[in-house]
Structure 1
Amino acid sequence: MPDSVADAKRALRADLRERRQVRSDRERDAASAGVTAQLDRLLDDLGATSMSCFLSTPTEPGTHEFVERAVARGIRVLLPITRADGLLDWAVATPDADIAEGLFGLPEPVADVVGPMAVDEVDLLVIPAAAIARDGTRLGWGRGYFDKMIGSMQHRPPIYAVVFDTEVFDELPHDDLDQPVCGVVTPTQTLTLSPARH
């Protein structure tokens, strides 16, 4: 990756991280409620019966309530578990699952692991992001877990990233390893994008 792209990504991530940290509890609660409503609607629109979804950190748009509701309505939800080798394992969400701190301090389920390939069978992927561009470019947090996962999938279902409304951009710095998404969910809207192949 050219140094200029890496530097631009690093600077933008730092700015976005800082903006997320200063959001009030009220803003975060409203974002969580909005994201839950948007994801509920997306499930209905796609007719999905299985999906993957990340468990949000305190500074991300909240997904915990959505996961609980999806499980309660009979959706099979896979939750990611980070591995030291850069891959993701998966666990099936259950109503009573314990949540613990995984690698990098991320919330992860304490549950039986179903392995990296389980995600190939879902109808929908909902993944985290720092920002999304209108051409489908996703800026992650720099560890590459989701880019590797998406890049290795044989069957790619619809992939939607969750961000705050202010984190949807006209364009973002990217490189060849960045995997595009086909949609973005914010607290107020769900946008279907036309990913450009980088």
Structure 2
Amino acid sequence: MHDDIATAKRALRAELRERRQLLSQTARDAAATGIREQLDTLVDSLGVRSMSCFLSIPTEPGTREFVDAAVRRGIRVLLPVTRTDGLLDWSVAHPDFDIAEGMFGLPEPVGELLGPIAVNDVDVLVIPAAAVDRNGMRLGWGRGFFDKTLGSMEGCPPVYAVIYDSELLDEVPSDLHDQPVTGVVTPTQTLILAPARP
């Protein structure tokens, strides 16, 4: 990666992280409600029976209400579990599943682990992001787990990144390994930004 791109990514991530930390609890609660409504509508419109999602941390737009509701509706939800080799294992969410702290202090489900290819048969992937630009380029948090996952998938289904409204930008710095997303889900809207990949 070029040094100037790496520097630009670090600076933008730091700014976005600070903005997220300054949000009030009221704003976070409202965002979680909005994300649940947007994701409910998305999975209904796509006829989703199986999907991936993630367990949000307190500063992220909340996904936990949605995951709980989706599981209770009978949707098979795969949640990521980090591995030391930079890939992701997956675990199927169940009602009242246990959560433990995984690598990097991220919340991860406790349960049977499925390998990295388990995600190949989902109808849609819902992933975290720091920001996304209007062409669908995603800026992650720098660890590369989701870029590796998306880059390794054949016939990748639609991929939606969950962000706050202010994190949809005109452009984000990117390099060759960075993977685009189909669209974004924010607390107020779901937008398609790029065609689904073959």
Contact 2:158–2:196 (CA under 8 A) maintained in structure 1: no
Taking only the aligned residue pairs, the percentage that are identical comes to 69
**Can you give the 5+ residue segments of structure 1 that lack an aligned partner in the other structure?**
none
1:37: which partner in 2? 37
Normalization by structure 1: what TM-score?
A: 0.98
Question: Moved runs in structure 1, 4+ residues, more than 4 A?
Answer: none
CA distance in 2, matches of 1:20, 1:111: 30
Counterpart residue identity of residue 172, structure 1: V
1:115: which partner in 2? 115
**Can you give the 5+ residue segments of structure 2 that lack an aligned partner in the other structure?**
none
Are 2:141 and 1:141 aligned? yes
Distance 1:119 1:196, change over 3 A: closer
CA distance in 1, matches of 2:3, 2:195: 24
CA distance in 2, matches of 1:106, 1:196: 28
1:4-83 map, 5 Å: 4-83=4-83
Distance 1:196 1:159, change over 3 A: closer
- Paired residue secondary structure (2:71): helix
Contact 1:160–1:181 (CA under 8 A) maintained in structure 2: yes
2:155: which partner in 1? 155
1:182: which partner in 2? 182
CA distance in 1, matches of 2:37, 2:196: 28
- Paired residue secondary structure (1:135): coil
CA distance in 2, matches of 1:188, 1:96: 28
Equivalent pairs counted in the alignment come to 197
Counterpart residue identity of residue 19, structure 1: R
2:100: which partner in 1? 100
Q: CA RMSD in A?
A: 1.2
- Paired residue secondary structure (1:38): helix
Counterpart residue identity of residue 12, structure 1: L
